[in-house]
Chain A
């Protein structure tokens, strides 16, 4: 009996630690405040995010401002591509999501031509199903891009994506899903008439950045708010034909959670969030290894949202 005491204790400890570790991504719901006195209490909210730092930070910002208003919040972070998380938003598993208006519109209506923020917002509201609503878009934009190194841009006198056509077939690196996306390989070939040798890597991640730096790819999909752009002096080529539509950060929520408290809180975030904020936040998390929830909390405090 004595012999088994130590091993059993170790196993129980490890199991306990594992259980603690696995629940670190979800937040514990706070007690609801007494501010909503005559109206019904706010429904509990499940905020999702995609699996890149900026979207995680945005979800954390939304979580912080809603919790400050006394809403019960759980987060479901790090979900894969839109093909996966949109389904969960549609069926109610998630009810708040920090989306990008242009990309979502393109996903819902592949033939959409709206390119400016206002046009995209209007088209998006029409395209969303009846149970989802788009709140106010922020001025902050995070777009896909066709990005090259500054050396490459200078050597070939490149300022816009159209300039690439003169180079013949170019090797391009991006996420695997670009092969079938209009705002991706299909659009670059159809709208700009480019001939592309595609290398499926990651979505503006370390592989694409490394490949761009060592010349394995001549151009890559790097997000406009990615910290690598300032770190390695990348150049995002201009998009005169508007292939990459406006990509303003916009909260998409389920109508069942569209109470005044929740919509006002999320719109308040949209009102103050700028692209420069995104660059700074993502830089802090990726370059300086700040925790996304910490960076989000700092932003909420500095912007007086919480």
Chain B
């Protein structure tokens, strides 16, 4: 065991476990770790990757069949020794996807539910503190069903945070909200999570949520951890094709390395692209070329010349609205996807069949070695 993981045994969460269901996939978590410095660790992956199961195992709501989970040096679950700490003793705050506020209890009694060890005055003042913090003043006596989705989310967060847990677990906290509310609350949630200064583990399948909320990212695919690290690192440098697809590197094209130096020259069919060399092993000639749709800049008019820029001439194939963004499929000799804001798209007056220039900076072209066979 190296020094870094030894340190992690004492601080933060450290999990190695297997969870099987009679039917369905096996969840196999290897060395899931949270950095002590990270406020929010996002577990990110497509639906069905096992994200919720991982969270439920950490919460003690599911028992793994094998492995060990420790938190801040305390063993939560050790199957080989028959150790299992039940949920109620883990000092966690859990915010489930549908919030699951107690429907028969008022908002203040929902928030006070976990404050059983306190006397009346302490409880009163903690609830008031929570209501103020969440901006829910005046709603104390309401029942959950009388609140909007966004308010319910805040109450769920307040109920989880009130007993001062040592770890917060949030399952798709924005998933049950409609899209305008979602947009508004995304920034709020990040701030609230920072306010608590409680480490949080947050599950999402939404890339924007992951980028907006996370410090660290754990990419989960088919029940296994595909990659973990700081959010920007994982997004900019996915470890393999599966991760690239999950973190939505919209363009993933097979290419051939022609020349390797500080910049790598790579060919996709007849098109030539230049990518920054991040230490690609020279024996790899076959690569996947990955470009995030956001990193593609579209320009109408004459080709632009630039030192480290790739300038590709392309034809617009489709223009598709995706929420606030517009997704554009280009044909540059290979299919290239671009993501623009609605406004930018209108200013360019993009139509299917238009000819234009697609600019991609060399550092934004990611090369992933292609597995032989």
Q: Do these two chains really belong together in a complex?
A: no
Q: Which residues of A does B touch, CB under 8 Å?
A: none
